[in-house]
């Protein structure tokens, strides 16, 4: 996805207004998915996605052709999420809001057995609760690497941190998940231990 997206954004940055539709079509699903993981609320993720593209539009002159769009867009989206979270904390804690909504962080495959669906949903909720208690920088590093599939370098660009710091944050999140989930976490341990 990166190459056509990067080329479309370069055209848009140079003043080709028609390229914005292509930028949106190529990047919106990834940005929306990232924001949905962060806020666990479809309506808020939609709003923040639109706000992200508004910021991209306003900052298009700052985009350097030849750069990758997604790390830049993830940074904008994350900053908007953090601003939104800070405003919300004045009235309602995020943890209480997550519990009220009863969000479903994962959709199992349609052919899964009922017990497997229940177990997978419970595990996903437990993982989200653990990530919700961690410092935001650790949870976001873990999500960027494991849920969004970014490389360590890309996650470092999004977080404004060094690659070593991103690895350390993601590792701490992994260790917290392993400590909290114990044997439940064991089957996934091998996959998650390999942070690129």
pLDDT of residue 1: 47
pLDDT of residue 194: 42
pLDDT of residue 102: 53
Nearest in space to 139 (alpha carbons), one of 108, 166, 103: 166
- For 106-196, CATH gives 1.10.10.10
pLDDT of residue 63: 84
How many beta carbons lie within 10 A of that of residue 194, not counting itself?
A: 8
Per domain, the residue ranges of the chain are 1-103, 106-196
Do 106-196 and 1-103 have the same topology in CATH?
Answer: no
Query: Which stretches in the chain have pLDDT values below 50?
Result: 1, 93-94, 98, 103, 108-109, 111-113, 186-196
pLDDT of residue 79: 87
pLDDT of residue 117: 57
pLDDT of residue 116: 62
Question: Taking the model in full, what pTM does it have?
Answer: 0.57
Fold annotation for 1-103: Rna Polymerase Sigma Factor; Chain: A (1.10.1740)
Nearest in space to 23 (alpha carbons), one of 86, 78, 96, 72: 72
- Per-residue pLDDT tens digits for 111-168: 444 556 566 667 777 878 888 888 888 888 888 888 777 888 888 888 888 999 989 9
Tokens for 131?
Answer: 């990530």
């Amino acid at each position: 996805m990166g190459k056509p997206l990067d080329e479309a954004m370069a055209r848009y940055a140079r003043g080709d207004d028609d390229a914005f539709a292509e930028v949106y079509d190529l990047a919106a699903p990834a940005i929306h998915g990232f924001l949905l993981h962060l806020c666990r609320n479809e309506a808020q993720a939609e709003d923040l996605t639109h706000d992200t593209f508004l910021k991209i539009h306003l900052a298009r002159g700052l985009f350097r052709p030849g750069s990758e769009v997604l790390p830049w867009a993830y940074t904008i989206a994350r900053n908007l999420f953090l601003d939104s979270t800070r405003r919300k904390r004045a009235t309602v804690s995020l943890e209480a809001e997550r519990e009220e909504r009863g969000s479903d962080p994962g959709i199992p495959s349609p052919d899964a057995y009922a017990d497997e669906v229940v177990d997978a949903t419970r595990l996903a909720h437990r993982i989200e609760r653990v990530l919700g208690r961690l410092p935001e920088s650790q949870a976001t590093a873990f999500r960027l690497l494991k849920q969004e599939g970014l490389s360590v370098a890309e996650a470092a660009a999004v977080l404004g941190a060094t690659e070593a710091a991103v690895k350390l944050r993601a590792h701490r999140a992994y260790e917290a998940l392993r400590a909290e989930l114990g044997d439940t976490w064991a089957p996934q341990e091998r996959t998650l231990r390999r942070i690129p």
